[in-house]
Structure 1
Amino acid sequence: MDKIRESILTKSHASKLERRGKIISFMCLGGICLIVLAIFIFIAYRGLATFTSDHVSIFKFLGGTKWNPEVTENGHPLVGALPMITGSFLITILATLLALPFAIGTALMMTDITPKMGTRILQPVLELLVGIPSVVYGFVGLTVVVPFMRSIFGGSGFGILAGTFVLFVMVLPTITSMTVDALKSVPKDYRSASLALGATRWQTIYKVVLRTATPGILTAIVFGMARAFGEALAVQMVVGNAALMPTSLVAPASTLTSVLTTGIGNTVLGTVQNDALWSLALILLLMSLAFNLAIHLIAKRGELKR
């Protein structure tokens, strides 16, 4: 009887601990959700203030090409965000397109061509690139990339092309690491079956491995784009920070993050200038949500195909 009582007490004690663990876990989860919701509400409240109190049309804000919140035209402040939106998308797309072939080639080296050498040499290199701070990338771009652009194309050297080369190096390890995971997730039976049917190694890689890993590679691309779109310091140091519509890849331009980082400390809360910057922050937040939604949709389509 004593042993039975002890086992019952032990089980009840374990169930209490399990219940407490669940409560603590749900509290932590709820706290994280509340923090994210609070951030979203705060940024949305501050960002939408531009269109309520300052009588700025959202269409003129998104489609306007003049950015000078301190100046008014016909009674309305000049807060056209199109130059920054265009600059952000141009740098993001160009950097991702430039990094994609290098990322896929490096990932194939690490998984299918020379996996031992890839793991021994390339993996530490990728980890090193991830650990380098953004300010270091920006400083290297300022001292190496910008003078190189100046010597080749003339002008100041600052511009979208300089920002593209800097972001290319920054997003390369992200896209490569996720592509490696996507390639490793392809079952080895697929490779063996393709080789057994007479396909060469390159035919197997192109027609079997890459096609099977396409959802994972697309996810890596979107993650890389999200990384590039939200980068601030490194881009700010090489893009030129001119709130003008980009006329060429080597002309000074600006991005959403560069305008935010340079201007947010020089404005007063509640003013037109400050509200306009919060509106840019709201655009960044919405773009982050769009990237996350795209990742989830790609993942679901990949699961359905399997």
Structure 2
Amino acid sequence: MAQSKQHESKPHLVEEWVGKVYTALCILFLVVTIFSMVYFVASKGLTTFFKDKVNVIDLLTGIKWNPGGDPPLFGALPFIFGSFSTSILAAVIAAPLAFCAAVFMIEIAPKFGRKYLQPVIELLAGIPSVVYGFVGLSVIVPLFRDIFPGQGIGIAAGALVLSVMILPTITTIATDALASLPSGLKEGSYALGSTRWQTIYRIVLPTMLPALMTGVVLGIARAFGEALAVQMVIGNAPHIPGSLFESTSTLTSAITLSMGNTVMGSTHNNALWSLALILMTMTFVFVFIVRWLERRSKI
């Protein structure tokens, strides 16, 4: 009897050992991949400062980008400004819509919202970015051209396109956050005589604010790294615009438009890798902010 039990336990031990080894190899692969990417981008991006002797302050604060000039100018501030302005403005547009949609699906009409509205919103996440860019170029840009001064391309068009793209991200996180709220808080508010709307904006939203802000930050990170959709509607002009309806450029647009036209190892190519390093650094900053907000929501 004891021998039969030992024979039965051996397959389980083998399966457990195989599972542990497989899991460890997957984690090791992910860690090696992440560190390899960081090392590759950092080594290429830092070449601009150590080999080509480009000043870091000049790159971050310069407003003129002319790699082919004499002398060449590498001012990345217009691209940094374009990336932040479009991403933050997109979040400002999308966040209220996402919060209202989440409140509707969880607090007001959960059956209808969860069954019909949530799948429609999540469907937006599966649409290719080139489709968003083409719709923006065909619909939003002509509309802005008819209503506002200018050609219709610029920060406003890019932000509006990005706001639709990041709407599913913010809505999904806000919905999950509201659904995880303990029912006792709402029941206690109702017991004290509060109405449904008073409970929503005085109890529900303040309690889940850190989790809701996590969705906003992730949406900004998603918009910050978008290239094609913004590139089609923003104008791609390397200067700081004077209004929301003037053309500008972003870090991703500058990289995608110029990387294929440069020689590997040239100063221009290394400067583009420096822009990629800035982009990656900001992505890490967004991740750290998200982790900090998650810790705040658990307190």
Same fold (TM over 0.5): yes
1:185 and 2:180 aligned: yes
CA distance in 2, matches of 1:176, 1:168: 12
Q: Does 1:291 align with 2:286?
A: yes
- Structure 1, unaligned runs of 5 or more: none
- In structure 2, what is the equivalent of residue 54 of structure 1? 52
Q: Please report how far the alpha carbon of residue 227 of structure 1 lies from its aligned counterpart in structure 2 after TM superposition.
A: 0.7
The root-mean-square deviation of aligned C-alpha atoms, in Å, is 1.0
How many residues align? The count is: 299
Aligned to 1:33: 31
Q: Match of 1:11?
A: 9
Aligned to 1:21: 19
Which has the larger displacement, 218-227 or 12-21? 12-21
Is the CA contact 2:122–2:172 (under 8 Å) kept in the aligned structure 1? Answer: no
Task: Indicate if the aligned counterparts of 1:50 and 1:276 stay in contact, CA closer than 8 A.
Answer: yes
1:185-224 superposed matches below 5 A: 185-224=180-219
* Equivalent in the alignment of 2:160: 165
What is the Cα deviation at residue 51 of structure 1? 0.5
AA aligned to 2:2 is: I
What per-residue deviation string (whole Å, max 9, x for no partner) do you get for residues 249-279 of structure 1? 1111000011111111111110111101100
Distance in 2 between residues matched to 1:268 and 1:133, nearest whole Å? 30
Give the AA of the match of 1:53: K
1:151-162 correspondence to structure 2 within 5 Å: 151-162=146-157
8 Å CA contact 1:108, 1:180 repeated in 2? yes
Which residue number corresponds to residue 97 of structure 2? 102
User: SS state of the match for residue 241, structure 1?
Assistant: coil
Cα drift, residue 149 of structure 1: 1.1
Matched, 1:115 2:110: yes
Secondary structure at the aligned position of 1:219 is classed as helix
Report which stretch shifted further, 223-232 or 7-16.
Answer: 7-16
TM-superposed deviation, 1:114: 1.0
Q: Percent identity?
A: 49
Contact 2:225 2:252 (8 Å CA) reproduced: yes
- For 1:212 and 1:185, how far apart are their aligned partners in 2? 11
Aligned with 1:231 (options 215, 226, 234) = 226
Corresponding residue number in structure 1 for 2:296: 301
1:185–1:213: 8 Å Cα contact kept in structure 2?
A: no
What is the match of residue 68 of structure 2?
70
Give the equivalent residue in structure 2 for 1:250: 245
Following TM superposition, where does structure 1 have runs of at least 4 consecutive aligned residues deviating by more than 2 angstroms? none
Please, what TM-score do these two structures have when normalized by structure 1?
A: 0.96
What's the CA shift for 1:124? Answer: 2.1
